[in-house]
Amino acid sequence: METLVKKAVKGDKVALNSLLENIQKYIYNISIKILFHPENAKDATQEILIKIVTHLSSFNYESNFTTWTYRIATNYLLNQLDKQNRQQLNFDIFAKDLVQGLNHNYNVNDVEKKLLVEEVKIGCSIGMLQCLDSESRITYVVGEILDFNSTDGAYIQDITSETFRKRLSRARTKINEFTKQNCGLVNPQNDCRCHKKVDNAIATKRVNPNNLLFASKDLISSIAEVESATGLIQTNPVFKYPEKRLNEIKKIVEVNLL
């Protein structure tokens, strides 16, 4: 990808478009994990991609280009979270919600109901991340989900490696304890299962059957027990950034930057 960067900096439009196509899925997927709502993630992805392009000439090749893009992305996402300044979801509230309205008789045989179960599962696993404070959430996603080492993780967040490791350890402990105590996919002894939460999620308007936020027929995966919180989140699909939005970004970049 570094070769594309060199060409793009020199004004090669084809190379620049290739760069955007290569990195957009990474930016969009981390944006969803950090911001939760896909529409907010779409807007953030556009702003981040444009920011990356406008700063291409400052890339010094001392790090991997993808790592550098995550640094720009997480800095932007952290600023967005600070601007939102909304009430922090916490693990206690989330745990109490999980045991409410469990339906033991829910049938998940047909495709539509499987989509609803997938919607609950994805929303719950991403919602769990929102219980972490902003900086810890980013650290957990970068270090645990994306599996960056402490050196790269520290670079991405502009902190020391020691601070990154400590923050990741604390976040990992909180997430692991929560899932072991509450999630039936991670710990079969827990009563909560995704299919049992569908009715309640619809009743409380957290899931709209006519407008699913996360699940779609081409992204649906098999709901199965996992061994850890990390495994739970990693079973989520790779979300596709809308091609129409990406083409709009290409036009913006072409008109204003080249």
Kindly report the CATH number assigned to the domain that includes residue 80: 1.20.140.160
What's the pTM value of the predicted model, to 2 decimals? Answer: 0.92
How many domains is the chain built from?
1
HSE-up of residue 132 (Cα within 13 Å, Cβ side):
29
Which pLDDT score is estimated for 101? 86
pLDDT 10s digit of each residue in the chain, 258 long? 889 999 999 889 999 999 999 999 999 999 999 999 999 999 999 999 999 999 999 999 888 999 999 999 999 999 999 887 665 789 999 999 998 888 766 554 577 888 999 999 999 999 999 999 999 999 999 999 999 999 999 999 999 999 999 999 999 999 999 999 999 999 999 999 998 999 999 989 999 998 999 998 776 665 666 778 888 888 898 999 999 999 999 988 877 665
Structural domain range at position 142:
2-257
